[in-house]
Chain A
Amino acid sequence: MVKGNWALFEEDFWSINAILQTLMRSASARSVMLIDKTGQLINSIGEPPGFDVTSFSSLAAADFAANAQLALMVGETDFATLVHQGQNESLYLSMIANRVILVVLFDRKTSLGLVRLKSRRAGEELLDVLNRLFDKLQYRNEEIGTPALGADFAAEAESEIDSLFKD
């Protein structure tokens, strides 16, 4: 498992995107999101959600983290999936590779059973892509150790910070 920062490269992004697209279509879901377990959105596809996806991501990660602690208390290692069922909209969340959370937003046009089945398949495919990505990052972090963004980036970011964050 990769420790420290992680990065998503172009080809991995498109592989992930294709899996999420297939999942959304085959499960007749409204939208599908992939969220890093620290609460950062990796990708969102489908109907543009009518809510703030950044906030949504941080709450989904917190939801998962809190439930993982509840699982430990009742003697489970984790709760690998969570379901939140509303009157019209529902959410199906599953943890993949202990690193990212797959979120499916669906309504009454489909069923929880179908969403669960398709999510499980998508989860297996995502696991392959993520494992390849983590291997690549591990190699980069350990063997190459090249700076990801360069000194120019930090300098430009600093001046942006100075101009934005002031009283």
Chain B
Amino acid sequence: MSLINYSSREINCKVVYYGPGLCGKTTNLQHIYSRVPQETRGKMISLATEMDRTLFFDFLPLELGQIRGFRTRFHLYTVPGQVYYNASRKLILKGVDGIVFVADSQIDRFDANVESLMNMHDNLAEHGLSLDKVPIVIQYNKRDLPRVVSVPDLEKELNPQGAPFYEAVALRGTGVFDTLKLACKLVLKTLG
């Protein structure tokens, strides 16, 4: 949940990148970190295994600067995608203001996307949340690879609620900022 501090005039919002293992959540954050001006970003923290798989979360704070006298910050988190880290995923969703669901477009990862999405719904419900209350943007990643599912087929299975989506190649940065911008704007709309 966003925290508005009227005394120090600060607003902090939490955006969580969700999705199956190796879909590119950390890659999204790494691209953002590498491209935003230094004064906009804080330190990126990755709690990862020796194999660079996310163990607990990645964290990247971004500062929009002063907006109408409020210092406005977004805290970006990723969840660990691997199935057996569900306890960690649940914890990170606590207090979420907006979600980016990163789907892996490859044919052989189709079921993993569906499973991760169902898991996200379950975990949101445990916090008393649902997509009626929390804005979501879907990112169909790895569009450059061979053997990918068509976007209409992905939409049919993963996005029946018609949430906004972008196609992306996170490794090259394609679609990364479009996704982030929309997620941030949707979150701010819920505050206003």
A residues in contact (CB < 8 Å) with B? 3-10, 12-14, 36-43, 52, 54-55, 58-59, 62, 65-66, 69, 147-154, 156-158, 160-162, 164-167
Whether B17 sits at the interface, judged by CB under 8 Å, is no
- A153 near B7 (CB under 8 angstroms)? no
Are A8's CB and B6's CB within 8 A?
yes
Q: Which of chain A's residues have a CB closer than 8 A to the CB of B150? A: none
- From known contacts A66-B91, A147-B192, A153-B192, infer whether A52 and B6 are also in contact, taking CB-CB under 8 Å: no
Q: Are A55 and B1 in contact (CB under 8 A)?
A: no
How far apart are the CA atoms of A38 and B47 in the complex, in Å? Answer: 17
Would you call the interface of chain B mostly helix, strand, loop, or mixed?
A: mixed
Assess A166 versus B68: contact at CB under 8 Å? Given A62-B91, A149-B4: no
- Name the interface size band of chain B: 35 or more
Closest 6 CB pairs of A and B: A38-B95, A13-B7, A7-B4, A154-B192, A65-B91, A40-B12
**Interface contact A3-B185, CB-CB below 8 Å:** no
Question: Which A residue sits closest to B174, measured CB to CB?
Answer: A167
Please state if B12 and A149 are interface contacts (CB–CB under 8 Å).
no
The one of B3, B73, B185 that contacts A158, using a Cβ cutoff of 8 Å: B185
